[in-house]
Structure 1
Amino acid sequence: MFSETEFVNTKHGWLYLCSLTDINVKCRKDSVIVTWKVGQALASYPSRLLLGNCAPSKFSRTSDGGGKAVFHYRLSECRFRQMVTTEMHETSNFSLTSAANSRPEWVRPYLEPAFGALQDYGRLVFSMGLLNDDLSGPALSNVFTLGSFIYVWAAVEQQMHQPLMLYMEECVATNTAVIGPDSQIFPVIANQGCLVDKSSRFLPRSDSSFLLLQLQAFKFAMGSEVYLHCKLVVWDPDDLNEEKKACLNSIGRWELLDDPFQNDLCHCCDSGCRTRKRVLGPLVINSSTSNNDGNKSAFLGKDYS
């Protein structure tokens, strides 16, 4: 079997050799799902894992310190090539090499139903910071030139809590540490997770507890101090919706960071995404207790979203 440190230099660049057991491919009519298990060395740099020119749709850490990258894309993407003959239709993108000399014996599958309950709790600790250009550590300076990239790192420490997905629901840049009536405000993320600046993007996740924003330095409060105010939220990783999402504008269309096949959840970014706002009222304030016969329906909150 090939180890993770074995690479081959080709005319296309350095290729990482892996075992066939590290790759799982599921082909559908118009798309493909590729699951790639990597060791600790590559798990530290998920943005370097590519299928053609496509980054992982989802990346998660494994208990052994490695990671699992999932690529879920249409066959029209990622530089797939199609070859059609009179007998078959083959779609190819990459080749794999394995040193395995024998096939494992077939194991008869069986179904073992399981039932249980999950109960968890824990204090959530949110944090943000700036990373350097190669994402290997904290930024050494907070001074950036116009047009350069600022890497904003957000994280949540879940402690004993069950796994949650971190989102930046809203971010604004201001010229004050505390937002006030006189603050200049520049929106960065709005509409519950929509990245407004088309020159910026979210980078593939290395863990559901982390979110990395590649923000291009913009022309705002030039030469003055700028503060980034963000609202961080966590949610069930398996329940993506219009209220809990991370959307970026790529090549003129909205894309969902964690699952490109659910890009429809980002369509509201150009208008208004669904919220859970409620209106209670009307309320009447009198100077005396002479008239207390109000509209009893005011005690029921109404949904105007």
Structure 2
Amino acid sequence: MALFWSCALLSCLVAVSLVHAEMKLDCRTDYMTLVWTDPRSQADFSLFRLGSCFPTSFTAREVAFNVEFDDCSFRKLVTGDELTYSNDLIYTSSPDSSVLPFALPVVCSYKRPKDWYPMIYDPVFSTYGVEDLMFHLELMNADFSGPAESTEFSLGSIIPIMASVEQENHQPLLVLLEECVATTTPDLLPSAEVYKIITNKGCLVDSKTSRSRFERQNVNDLMLSLQAFRFALGQEVYIHCSIMAWDPNSLDETKKACHYVADHGWELLDNPVYSGLCDCCESTCKSRKKRSLGSEKTGFVQKAVLGPLTITE
């Protein structure tokens, strides 16, 4: 089955502002090749990852990936006549390195073939994080016991969403949702109209006017019961979130899960005794703790997108 392909990173050649690096992206029918070159960098090129994939090859000056779209935790989206595969080129760095970690989007866009039809529904959208962490954002069934069977929700019903992280060698990390907004596009563009769900570093602002709430059964997952809203009624909706995995003993005003309880006020999900951390949800949440090299390594943040889903009258 032939695909007409194009590259979504400025003709597959991007001069990146990170030092003097250059990224070449070649999108093919069912695979892609990416080469990152930086002759002046002090980076360890073995520490690059493309999603969940290790480099195909690397030298002291460049790293290369030759991978299929079925690998590396690529995200697949179909909108209108466009089929898009997206991932992240991640540099994880090392503790003693002078080169800071970073992540850059990698996107291949295709014209959808006339004889191609999507699966009825694939509910899991995974995003590779850093080191040995794998983040997930999923639509669930009503009791969170399995994946959702439909992406259509009636206005006012509950949309069950679960954020989770798989971890191997880390200390136990608490999963939090920093920010979540709904849009009608799979890419969060600066000009896009958005519906705010979670803002201010973990404040479920939608809960002030709805039945939306947080729940938790395990430290490594967070359940969001989101009441279906009127925004973009009848259209395709995408929910964009920042997922955080954080040291459960280092919560503060910027690392928390707060929802609003009627006739009570803001409540901290994981320990209501310290709900004072949620007071800033009505203003601006800023950390009062001084940052140190140690505190910077207590958690990780990754972006993910869920959708499309549809809310009907």
Larger radius of gyration: 1
Q: Which has the higher strand share?
A: 2
TM-score by length of 2: 0.48
